[in-house]
Amino acid sequence: MKWFLSIVFVLSLSFCSGEKGYRPLPSDQEAADADASIHGFSLNGREKNNEWLIRANSALVFESGKKIEMQSPRIQILSNETLIVSERGIWEEDEKQAYLLGRVHITAKNKRTLETEELTYNGSTGRITSHKPVKIRYPEGDTITAAGLEADTSLQNITFFQGKGYHPDGTP
């Protein structure tokens, strides 16, 4: 019977839904209510032309895989060689979205980097969104700060919310 439950659990990680929005990681009581606790967590996904791999030091699985709360998640966007890391994250399987919290950092193949405190990665569209202050650094030395953004994960097609830019020589 245990092997049957294990198979059901693994399959359920691929076909589930969850709640929306950011929320803090669970308290000790919530952790006790988790369906499973996994050390060395990983999850592969593919939607249209977007493919990703999520790894985390540890994860709590709720509602048989509908929601996965992760410590130190690393999302590799395999389709464009981008890496997203943060302190915590929540994966919502039905939405194919990761809500990343705490020191979020993105490094794109083109050497552009992004820093923010909260970010949503949409696995279905391959887009990221943040409504918290963001800072993007370009390899040429330019920096853009903004109140938020929407972009692709390669950090090439970006819409800034109330942004300012600076050149390496200090001119706006």
User: Which tokens in the block code for residue 125?
Assistant: 């569209």
pLDDT at residue 63, rounded to an integer: 81
Give the ranges where the chain is alpha helix by DSSP (H).
2-12, 28-33
pLDDT at residue 36, rounded to an integer: 85
Domains of the chain and CATH, by start: 2-166 (2.60.450.10)
pLDDT at residue 31, rounded to an integer: 64
* The residue to which tokens 């890496």 are assigned: 83
User: Which tokens in the block code for residue 105?
Assistant: 């950092």
Task: Answer whether 124's CB lies under 8 Å from 138's CB.
Answer: no
* The residue to which tokens 């938020």 are assigned: 148
Walk along the chain (172 residues) and give the pLDDT tens digit of each residue. Answer: 333 333 334 433 433 333 344 444 555 555 667 888 889 999 999 988 889 999 999 999 988 778 999 999 999 999 899 999 999 999 999 999 999 999 999 999 999 999 999 999 999 999 999 999 999 999 998 999 999 999 999 998 999 998 777 666 565 5
Helix (H, G, I), strand (E, B) or coil at 64: helix
pLDDT at residue 34, rounded to an integer: 82
pLDDT at residue 29, rounded to an integer: 56
pLDDT at residue 15, rounded to an integer: 34
